[in-house]
Amino acid sequence: MNIIDYLRWRGEIPFRISPFNDVDNVILSQISYVNWEGILNYNSIMTLPEAWQRYQDLEETRKMNPNLILMVDEAANSERFKKVRLMYYVREIDAAKEMQFSALTMYLPDNTYYVAFEGTESSVIGWKEDFNMTYMFPIPSQKMAYDYLANLKFRPFSKVRVGGHSKGGNLAIYASVMLENSDRIINVYNNDGPGFSKEFLDSKKYKKIKPKIVSLIPHSSVIGQLMNNDIDEKIVLCSTNDLAWQHIVYSWEVDVTKFAEADKTSKESKFFQEALNHWNNDMSTEQKQIFMNTFYETITDLGITEANQIFKYKLTLFKALMNKLKNYDERTRKIVIDVIKALLQSNVNAFYNTYVENRLKKYERTLLNENTSSER
């Protein structure tokens, strides 16, 4: 059973009978992925069914993920969510800043608010923004998340939950930590979102919020392994073994009112975690920035637009990256190759590493021969 099945099976049970749970949190975090422009703005208030009907009238659903359509439709027609009111909607996309930001606040029948920050979209620019967090702090979206949360007006005595999926989970934590007064916050939900630097996790402000943070990651998490996390994570079982699709919450298995949990993350997730630990802790800001910009340029040159294509065409991508380096200066080439070597040392995949290491050695010998020939 996934979150759509949960809505079909439990959707008629109101919050007064079955209190808010982790699955409800994920559902609300997904509603923030709908582009409500033209329906909602910062000053408008509308029930979920009314907003959804207007959205369908615009036929915008044709552009949406089919699972998201099903989920929002089930939620809007359920007893549990039909009285949810949407408000304070904002959306800002800036390709030049590599920034994608959207936020939505929802008032629930249990007299609480859920502030949802939209997560990483399937586009590679969204994923690059996640990786920008590893060498840039705060990123533009984090600043906007804090400003958004700090300026919200809530009903007297109402409590607040803050959350998001993917990057949205990271924004939820950052905004809550930086808030001057966080007494109203019940929980902060990070649904497979990137972590933070060790310095941020050691700060007094973070430690104040830490007991309220709920962290959910899939069995084979990748995005959730970016940066550092010091929360006891709930590891969710998934209906697929595909690493990219496990990040998508529709593969997360639901057990009545909670997610089905595993005892530990998969071997693949541990491989990525080790590689990302090298990235986080052993590389300079300059190395990270140069590598990510080079990697991103290579992806766009190949016409890759969706994140799952990176996994599908990884060998083609590697060859293209090596060819692209020929046009760069020697220092840049060395930095990119050194970063790849460092990541390979974490044993992401023994067979794949051997193949790539051999190609790297061959590439370096070719460069050396070319340089020697030119000197003659």
Q: Residue 129: which pLDDT band, with cuts at 50, 70 and 90?
A: confident
Q: Terminus-to-terminus CA distance in the chain, angstroms?
A: 68
In contact, 298 and 321? CB cutoff 8 Å: yes
Q: Is the pLDDT of residue 270 over 90?
A: no
pLDDT at position 318 is: 83
In contact, 208 and 182? CB cutoff 8 Å: yes
Fold of 3-266: Rossmann fold (3.40.50)
Read off the pLDDT of residues 63-101 as tens digits, 9 standing for 90 and up. Answer: 778 999 999 999 999 999 999 999 999 999 876 777 789
Among 105, 162, 96, residue whose Cα is nearest residue 129? 96
pLDDT at position 301 is: 82
Give the Cα separation of 258 and 236 in Å (integer). Answer: 10
pLDDT at position 305 is: 72
Pull the structure tokens for residue 41.
């703005």
Among 39, 177, 32, residue whose Cα is nearest residue 115? 32
Read off the pLDDT of residues 334-366 as tens digits, 9 standing for 90 and up. Answer: 888 887 776 666 544 433 554 455 666 666 677
Cis omega (within 30 of 0) for bond into 138: yes
Q: Is the pLDDT of residue 150 over 90?
A: yes
The domain spans of the chain are 3-266, 283-375
In contact, 216 and 261? CB cutoff 8 Å: no
Give the Cα separation of 6 and 75 in Å (integer). Answer: 10
